[in-house]
Amino acid sequence: MKNAVVLVSGGMDSAVVLAMARAQGFNVYALSVQYGQRHTSELDAAARVAKELGAAAHKVVNVDLRSIGGSALTDDIDVPEAGGAGIPVTYVPARNTIMLSVALGWAEVLGAADIFCGVNAVDYSGYPDCRPDFIEAFQALANLATKAGVEGAGIKVHAPLQFLSKADIVREGVALGVDFGSTVSCYNADAAGKACGHCDACRLRADGFVDAGVADPTHYA
Ligand code: ZN
């Protein structure tokens, strides 16, 4: 079996990606980055998801983005209610570049040529590092930057949810047996992982269940 590194945040999207990687026959090494997010309940969720969906291992790497701040998720800035124009304050500066870089390093150590992430460019918050051009550019970088890229099989960055709606993601997850009740998407979740129901992440997630015609198993506060 081929090894793959899958970035797992604890949210619904990356849970579905993990299940998709398993369904494609990969031996999955789940990676979560503790970047100083407002709560750790999403990391608890990531550990749960990795176990439930059969990851071979789950690693949490600490990269303290709170020390640079600049986001409602990593600084003393309130998380807004859903809506509003432009790139929202929940954008974490360079987060996906940093997380994919950690995944790239671990992939090289494991001899994995495949990295999976859950970025989505349809029902999303407008973050620049969720766009298809970004994923393509990061893959080019990965192949320039590593021994695996220069001498080995090369690195492929998979973003299988890129062009799916939230409803599509829900349907895919249901088909693959993902227990969405184990996942936490809310930016303001409490210590137990209960969702606020009002933030952008909650709104996108709730709409996805409605549009898919699937009962919403989210634990709300
Ligand atoms: Zn929320």
Tell me the pLDDT tens digit for each residue of 156-212: 999 999 999 999 999 999 999 999 999 999 988 999 999 999 998 999 999 999 999
**Confidence check: pLDDT of 83 > 70:** no
Q: Report CA(34)–ligand 1 centroid distance (Å).
A: 19
CA of 181 to the centre of ligand 1 (A): 14
Residues sharing a CB contact under 8 Å with residue 33, sequence separation 6 or more, in sequence order = 7, 60, 61, 62, 63, 98, 99, 102
123 — pLDDT class (breaks 50, 70, 90): low
218 CA to middle of ligand 1, Å? 10
**Sign of the C-alpha dihedral, residues 181, 185, 190, 196?**
negative
Phi, psi dihedral angles at 14 (to 5 degrees): -70, -25
Distance 190 CA to ligand 1 centre (A): 9
Domains within the chain, CATH numbers bracketed:
3-212 (3.40.50.620)
